[in-house]
């Protein structure tokens, strides 16, 4: 029974999942939905920014680092730090070198691939204090 016992949409955090790999995006999305979150998907940073501008209720962004387009996940985290600084960002990467650059800016939390979905949901709960 998904969402049972939850009063109204106001108490359910909305997570934006950004990944250009549909199977990974769907796995993370389905897991977070099963954990009781509302989830919106985007296939790249540009689409994510469009969603963030249209949906002010987004509470957290989970994004891959490596994506096609003019912005990668680190660029998206930087955009969020400037325009939506209260929205926490979790980045997933297979490249530890990328983590150091963004960690210096204090703009994101990181998961090194491959990651466990339960670890992701635990971190989301910790960051949102839910």
Give the pLDDT score at 112: 86
Q: What is the mean pLDDT of residues 28-42?
A: 98
Mean pLDDT of 51-56: 97
pLDDT of residue 108: 76
Contact criterion met (CB below 8 Å) for 93 and 110: yes
Write down the pLDDT at residue 126.
95
Beta-carbon neighbour count of residue 4 at 10 Å? 6
Domains, the chain, with CATH or none: 11-128 (3.40.50.2300)
d(CA 45, CA 81): 14
Six-digit token pair at 87? 């929205």
Residue 78: Cβ-neighbour burial (10 angstroms; 0-12, 13-18, 19+): middle
pLDDT digits (tens, 9 = 90+) for 82-93: 999 999 999 998
**Predicted TM-score of the model (pTM):** 0.87
Is the confidence at residue 106, as pLDDT, over 70? Answer: no
Categorize the per-residue pLDDT at 99 as very low, low, confident or very high, splitting at 50, 70 and 90: low
């Amino acid at each position: 029974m998904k969402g049972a016992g939850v009063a109204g949409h106001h108490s359910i955090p909305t997570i934006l999942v950004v990944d250009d790999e549909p199977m990974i995006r769907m796995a993370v999305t389905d897991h977070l939905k099963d954990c009781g979150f509302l989830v919106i998907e985007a296939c790249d940073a540009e689409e994510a920014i469009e969603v963030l501008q249209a949906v002010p209720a987004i509470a957290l962004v989970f994004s891959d680092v490596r994506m096609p387009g003019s912005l990668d996940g680190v660029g998206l985290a930087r955009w969020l730090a400037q325009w939506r600084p209260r929205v926490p960002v979790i980045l997933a990467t297979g490249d530890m070198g990328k983590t150091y650059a963004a960690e210096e800016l204090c703009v994101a939390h990181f998961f090194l691939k491959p990651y466990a979905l339960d670890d992701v949901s635990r971190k989301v709960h910790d960051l949102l204090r839910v």
